[in-house]
Structure 1
Amino acid sequence: MNGPRTILALNAGSSSLKYGLYRVDADTCEERFAAKVEGTGGDADPVATIVEALRQRSLPMPDAVGHRIVHGGPNVREHARIDAALMTHLDEAKAFAPLHVPVAVKIVAQAKDAFPQVPQVACFDTAFHATLPLVAKTLPLPADLRAGGIERYGFHGLSYESIVRQLGNAIPERVVIAHLGNGASLCAVHAGKSVDTTMGLTPTGGIVMGTRPGDLDPGVLLYLLRERGYDAARLEVLVDRESGLKGLSDGTSDMRKLHEMGSDASRLAQDVFVHVARKHVASMVASLGGIDLLVFTGGIGENDAATREAILEGLRWMGSFAVRVIPTQEDEQIARHTWRIAS
């Protein structure tokens, strides 16, 4: 696979599967086709739908398949070819990201059935943050818990990698990247490496998201367990599907709809999102000791000028720094890693 090859990049969400077919070599990555399949739960086989879509368009079948995997758990910190040992680690990682990893593992199995002779590669959102210094990744818990893999992992790594790649040799020394979308996080990048980030053990922490609250006082969860009769399953639904913008606005996680609604609840949701994002940008700047460039990416970061400006308005006190909007290229990043590893 040293020459140009056709790579299928699969980017699994909790309810849909984005995919792209790319022609990749050592220097270029050309998109041939991209789309989304809804419905990744239950008995659905979205990979079969993708195969049919490629056939209908007379597109080539892939020479290798790359998968976005949100969490590799404590034992996998690099993008890697999928084999039996890696599948075992992915089963272990389900406990760290139950909303994302089980779906991704199921799609890996479906892709193996659809393309049995084709190399499969796992591309981890946690890999970019393997450079976090000890002081940034350590959570303030007893040693026996930390020894079991409880630490700050960080996510959206493929998005952050794509921004660093696009900046190339012109990347400044101190960059804060704000990946703002239904899932949202920030990353402090020093000399091209991740040195701090807002998400922690799971993709639930950090800043306010579409349906996730970001950082919460742990006492809130204890209160709900003790006083409101919540159990672990009910808490999981609360923090993964009912909170964030959706919880604040009494119904919607879509920032575009929040702009249109004009209700008190919708305005509060927007204001809280902006307020928390500002605070966390400042925390990333503190980790870097200053800022040269702030990059906005992700669905909100790329397309919502009003939210960007509101965040920036609260950061004027930091002085002068460059601001850019750069589209994330997660799927292209998957294709590039897959070509390299399968080669």
Structure 2
Amino acid sequence: MPTRSPGVRPGSPPVRSTRRRRWRGPALALSVAVLLLAVGLSLAIGSRPIAPGVVWDSLTGAAQGQDALVVRELRVPRTILGIAVGIALGLSGALMQALTRNPLADPGLLGVNSGAAAAMVTAVAVAGVTSPMGLVWFSMVGAAVVSVVVYVIGTSGRGGATPVRLALAGTAIAAALGAYTTGMILLDSRTFDRFRYWQVGSLVGQDLSLVAQVAPFFVVGTLLALSQGRALNALALGEDSGRALGANVARTRVLTAVAVTLLCGAATAAAGPIWFLGLAVPHMVRAVTGPDQRWVLPFSLVLAPALLLLGDVLGRVVVRPGELEVSIVTAVLGAPVLIALVRRKRLAQL
């Protein structure tokens, strides 16, 4: 007769799954602690190190002088923007990987970054817009329009929208817009100068007024993203199984695409394209939580901004007294992660 391990009943959950459920709560608390540490380091470390006590007094208004001015006027807006952008990119990456069932998907898969870039260069070259506030709105519109176009193309024909069609449509639109953007910046030196700074991807030089303008997009996108966890879990079993479990496939795809557009569009418009964060964070999270999107999304919301702020702090330290832009840091750290994923994981079947 077949034997089984003592203490294991038929139909009981796997030991690994049980351990994951047991550690989810403590791991989330640890992630929150890492985020708080990253916020503290972001406020204290830079070309001009500031003691933690002075940072606290500056935040409470008890301290005055140059250090307090640096904290309140420069580092607080930079840190808040880093938190918002990190949340947006982390959630966008998790949503895209769940929606397309592709472990190597990232927020740029639907052409959001390319749409924002194309709209920005058009605003500078044609309309003469140069202010950060104006460019944010143009970038948001470009991201939204491209997302709608990609979804329309992906849903055309028999069978409706599928992960493969959405991914291929996004790749095609991104390639076309990339060629358009390159042509525009080569024809206009002023556009090239403005785009060159934005293209790097940075948290430097932004103030709270910019954060306030894009905050509604971050808030709505975050709420939409967190509301899709259960439906995405159902879709992970396949469309037919998802429908049988009560999930509305079309509505889930639309709401997820809207959330990605709002989050990634706002993040790209405010800070420029920042690569690999949306790709790497969901994989790190699933190593702890498993594939349950009800946990993947909250973990990504906490861990992504922590890693982005830590990368920003690292960029301030490695070339002091200068700074290395955070997108360069994330690219240097994220490229090995991508290589490891390609070597260790099978790509999703197309």
Output the TM-score relative to the length of structure 1.
Answer: 0.25
More helix, by proportion = 2
Where relative contact order (Cα < 8 A, 6+ residues apart) is larger, the structure is 2
Q: Which is higher, the Rg of structure 1 or of structure 2?
A: 2
More strand, by proportion = 1
Output the TM-score relative to the length of structure 2.
Answer: 0.25
